[in-house]
């Protein structure tokens, strides 16, 4: 037995305060937010934001994120470089955390969002429940890839004096931060209800 949908009952969900509103109303009577049946241009916006993020993800990985200078010389670190260094130093646990946050999470987001956008675009009716679950996963991992940005900030703030040399942020980390923000915006633009809109109506 499937529950009725908001469309069938002439209702709309208010995104802000979660009130069930009459579908003829333009604003939520409780919080006055503009009501939409579905997010506007959901698919086009999510695609655009995701593709931009995907393009910026290249310089984020290729360009250095930090510059270290000390007695032993100057060196530039990339994201993957710092993971490898940590791994070789024996700090495999920290290496793993950084790898998951900086590579695992963004790549998963690209793959999952791409899959959702493709299947919704084709009006696929397969495994809707699992795809909705994937979307909730996307929301959950949202900002955790910001980790490396904060680590960079803290390292630069702590190590800024003679004896140990100095650390400066480099442009790669900026691209990386933008990737995180853009993928978050892309996830928010996607409307998971589109996954269910293909359901054949048999009442």
Q: Which is nearer to another protein, 45 or 128 (CB)?
A: 128
Please enumerate in sequence order all residues whose Cβ is within 8 A of that of 168, keeping only pairs 6 or more positions apart, or say none.
66, 67, 156
Longest Cα–Cα distance in the chain: 76
The answer to the question of residue 184 lying near another protein (CB under 8 A) is yes
Phi and psi for 102 in degrees, rounded to 5? -95, -25
Task: Please tell me the total number of residues recorded for the chain in this structure.
Answer: 203
Stretch that binds another protein, among 13-21, 42-50, 54-62, 110-118 (CB under 8 A): 13-21
Q: Report the C-alpha gap between 64 and 60 in whole angstroms.
A: 8
Nearest distance from C-beta of residue 78 to another protein, angstroms: 15
Calpha distance 26→28 (Å, rounded): 7
Residues 6+ apart with CB under 8 A from 198: 123, 124, 125, 128
Interaction between residue 193 and another protein (CB under 8 A): yes
Q: How far is the CB of 166 from another protein (least distance, A)?
A: 9
- How far is the C-alpha of 86 from the C-alpha of 97, rounded, in Å? 11
Which one of residues 56, 116, 149, 182 is an interface residue with another protein (CB under 8 A)?
Answer: 149
Residue 106 binds to another protein (criterion: CB under 8 A) = no
CA dist., res. 87 & res. 60, Å (int):
20
Pattern 38-67, another protein, x by CB under 8 A: -----------------------------x
CB of 111 to another protein, least distance (A): 20
Of 80, 84, 103, 147, the one binding another protein by CB under 8 A:
147
- Binds another protein by CB under 8 A, chosen from 26, 73, 129, 203: 129
Site for another protein contains 18 (CB under 8 A): yes
**Binding-residue total with another protein (CB under 8 A):** 73
Interface with another protein in residues 66-105 (CB under 8 A): 67, 86, 91, 93-94, 97-98
Q: Which of 79, 173, 179, 182 binds another protein (CB under 8 A)?
A: 173
Q: How many CB atoms lie within 10 A of CB 136?
A: 9
CA 102 to CA 96: how far, in whole Å?
A: 10
Q: Is residue 132 close enough to count as binding another protein by CB under 8 A?
A: yes
């Amino acid at each position: 037995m499937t529950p009725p949908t908001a469309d069938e009952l002439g209702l709309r969900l208010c995104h802000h305060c979660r009130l069930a509103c009459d579908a003829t109303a333009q604003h939520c009577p409780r919080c006055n937010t503009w009501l939409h049946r579905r997010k506007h241009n959901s698919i086009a916006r999510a695609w655009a934001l995701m593709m931009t993020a995907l393009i910026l993800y290249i310089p984020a990985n290729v360009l250095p994120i930090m510059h270290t200078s000390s007695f032993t010389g100057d060196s530039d670190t990339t994201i993957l470089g710092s993971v490898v260094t940590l791994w070789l130093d024996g700090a495999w646990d920290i290496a793993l955390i950084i790898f998951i946050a900086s590579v695992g999470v963004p790549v998963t987001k690209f793959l999952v969002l791409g899959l959702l956008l493709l299947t919704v675009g084709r009006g696929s009716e397969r495994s809707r429940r699992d795809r909705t679950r994937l979307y909730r996963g996307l929301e959950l991992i949202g900002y955790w890839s910001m980790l490396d940005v904060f680590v960079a900030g803290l390292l630069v703030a702590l190590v800024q004096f003679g004896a140990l040399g100095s650390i400066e942020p480099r442009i790669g980390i900026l691209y990386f931060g933008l990737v995180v923000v853009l993928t978050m915006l892309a996830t928010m633009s996607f409307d998971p209800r589109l996954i269910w809109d293909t359901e054949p109506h048999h009442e």
